[in-house]
Amino acid sequence: YEASAGELLDIINDFTDDWQTVLFFGHNPAFTMLANLFTTSYIGNIPTCGIVGIELSVARWRELERGGGRVVEFHFPKQHFPG
In this structure, the strands spanning 69-75 and 51-56 are antiparallel
pTM to 2 decimal places: 0.87
What pLDDT band is residue 3 in, cutting at 50, 70 and 90?
A: confident
pLDDT of residue 4: 87
CA–CA–CA angle 30, 78, 9 (5° rounding)? 15
pLDDT of residue 58: 94
What residue numbers bound the domain in which 53 lies?
A: 5-80
The string of pLDDT tens digits covering residues 11-52 is 999 999 999 999 999 889 999 999 999 999 999 999 999 999
- H or E stretch at 10: helix 5-13
31 and 7 Cβ atoms separated by less than 8 Å: no
Total structural domains within the chain: 1
83 and 53 Cβ atoms separated by less than 8 Å: no
